Amino acid sequence: MSEIKTLTVAELAAASGGRMVGDGALHIARVADLETAGSGDIAYVEDEKFFDKARESRATCLIVNREYVSSQKNESASAFIEVAKPKLAFALIAEILHPQKRREPFVHDSAVIAKSADIDLTVFIGPHVSIGEDARIGAGTRIEAGVVVGDHVSIGRDCVLHPGVVVYDNVTIGDRDILHAGVCLGADGFGYVRGDLGYHKFPQVGTVLIEDDVELGAYTCVDRAALGQTRIGRGTKLDNMVHVGHNCDIGERVVIAAQTGISGSVTIEDDCVIGGQVGFGDHIRVLSGAVIGSKAGILPGKIVRPGVWWGIPIQPLDEYKRLNAHLGHLPEMRKEIKELKKQLDELKKRSG
């Protein structure tokens, strides 16, 4: 949830680095899409195919690019903010108009907090929170209802732990991180050794490091390392229900969509994009700049180089498209083969 602020078009243009066109004194209270925007709203248009819809919009202000301004049909809004990347400017303005809700310092009576915990006086702690021995929580952080923070956990400044988050012992969380409902950090990794009478648990005594400005979606799980650490790099964003196995190293500014499962000891370098429902085998290395499409499957030990990849097992996008095109013709090819076989049998009978 977020609060709502009201600013003028001129103030928003300055904040987003854009050029103001029209009445800069108009007040903007909300962001909205083109179809639903009305008085006091700001919307954006980036793709030329939506220009006509933008001209019909009732938004008080539109964030546009140079192509839209040069189209000379700007009757729709009373003001415009011209920028190179309207969608990015829209996101920046949304952060200003709808800042994250801040809570006053507070500790609920039902919270159970170890005496050795070091908690900044500006922290909010909601009902039924449990905080373990020697835990540290930095200034401005929000711990919402039902969160469990284990022993020797370190949480930085201005973090938000939404209801039901569980942080096991010895986990480190940086500054400005957002953990959505049900996130679990530091559960044991899936590591076992086969013995004569069954499986024996391999030691899971490592830790988890979540660096600054990371956001983890609801019910995402990051397992602790067997030995060493599992790391999520600065600025990385994980969607809902992503699983990160033990000893994984996820770099900076990586985005991973929902229901992706990452086996142990996988390395994903900086600035990679991973689609939804991607399956990773163990000991894979994804090099910086790689893009992996949804529902792809990656075999253990593979190195994924920069470029766009898709399919099971993954392959370069162009090859995947060619294969798919061939697969689409399989029914008619099967029919042709049956017909050719029939003709061949007839020829054999005649020659015999």
Which entry of 243, 246, 283, 326 is annotated as an active-site residue? 246
Helix (H) or strand (E) holding 347: helix 330-351
For 79, counting Cβ atoms within 10 Å of its Cβ (0-12 exposed, 13-18 middle, 19+ buried), the class is buried
Q: Based on the residue annotation, tell me whether 27 is a catalytic residue of this protein.
A: no
Domain spanning 7-97 has what CATH number?
3.40.1390.10
The model's pLDDT over 88-124, given as tens digits with 9 standing for 90+, comes to 999 999 999 988 877 899 999 999 999 999 999 999 9
Please give the pLDDT value at position 76. Answer: 59
The model's pLDDT over 248-265, given as tens digits with 9 standing for 90+, comes to 999 999 999 999 999 999
The model's pLDDT over 195-236, given as tens digits with 9 standing for 90+, comes to 998 999 999 999 999 999 999 999 999 999 999 999 999 999
- 171: pLDDT strictly greater than 60: yes
Using a CB cutoff of 8 Å and minimum separation of 24, what contacts does 16-19 make?
16/63, 16/81, 16/83, 16/89, 16/92, 16/93, 17/83, 17/89, 18/63, 18/81, 18/82, 18/83, 18/89, 19/81, 19/82, 19/83
Beta bridge partners of 184: 166, 221
Q: Do the domains 7-97 and 106-317 sit in the same CATH topology, yes or no?
A: no
Strand order in the sheet with 136-137: 118-119, 136-137, 154-155, 172-173, 207-210, 229-232, 249-250, 267-268, 285-286, 303-304
Helix (H) or strand (E) holding 250: strand 249-250
Q: Would you state the torsion angle of the CA atoms of residues 116, 117, 122, 127, taken in this order, to the nearest 10 degrees?
A: -110
Class of domain 106-317 as given by CATH: mainly beta
Whole-model pTM: value is 0.84
Please give the pLDDT value at position 77. Answer: 67
DSSP 123: -
Domain residue ranges in the chain: 7-97, 106-317, 319-351
User: What is the rounded average pLDDT for all residues in the chain?
Assistant: 92
- 1: pLDDT strictly greater than 60: no
Encoded tokens for 231: 């790391």
